[in-house]
């Protein structure tokens, strides 16, 4: 959708997207990442979740859009708003605002502010754990 002048009552909210890592993500051998010579989570099983880390930021748009036809705006389409291209995730007509001439639609859309790369975050975490295991103990 290229016509932002039909967007009414818009607001955006930034939120973090998290990824849950399992113990096996840290202790199994990985040729492209640091490998640990110890178990940082001895009380957990291999399939237990042991870390929750932010992996990217998402910008969420909620707005009302005046459309010339009911149900014209659908999930999967995009909206340009304030320099961002939002993929529509939810769309529903506002009750009492639908006619043959126009329709007011509540829309939610999102766009990622940076690439979502959980493997890069895991590589960084494994490097931190590997460094921690080589430091002398603190007394």
The model's pLDDT over 85-121, given as tens digits with 9 standing for 90+, comes to: 999 999 888 776 555 556 788 899 999 999 999 999 9
| pTM for this prediction | 0.73
Digitized pLDDT (tens) for each residue of the chain, 139 residues in all: 444 458 888 999 999 999 999 999 999 999 999 999 899 999 999 999 999 999 999 999 999 988 776 557 788 889 899 999 999 999 888 776 555 556 788 899 999 999 999 999 999 999 999 988 765 555 4
Q: Which helix (H) or strand (E) holds 50?
A: strand 49-67
Contact of 66 with 10, CB cutoff 8 Å = no
Give the DSSP per-residue string, 62-129.
Answer: EEEEEESSTT---TT-EEEETTEEEEEEEEEEEEEEE-SS-EEEEEEEEEESS---HHHHHHHHHHHH
């Amino acid at each position: 959708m290229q016509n932002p002048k039909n967007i009414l009552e818009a607001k955006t909210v930034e939120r973090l997207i998290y990824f849950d890592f399992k113990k096996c993500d840290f202790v199994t051998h990985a040729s492209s990442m640091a490998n640990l010579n110890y178990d940082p989570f001895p009380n957990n099983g291999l399939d237990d979740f042991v870390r929750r880390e932010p992996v990217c930021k998402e910008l969420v748009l909620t707005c009302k859009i005046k459309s010339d036809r009911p149900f014209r705006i659908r999930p999967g389409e995009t909206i340009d708003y304030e320099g961002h291209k939002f993929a529509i995730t939810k769309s529903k007509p506002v009750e009492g605002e639908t006619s043959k001439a126009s329709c007011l639609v509540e829309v939610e859309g999102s766009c990622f502010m940076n690439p979502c790369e959980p493997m890069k975050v895991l590589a960084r975490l494994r490097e931190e754990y590997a460094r921690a295991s080589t430091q002398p103990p603190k007394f």
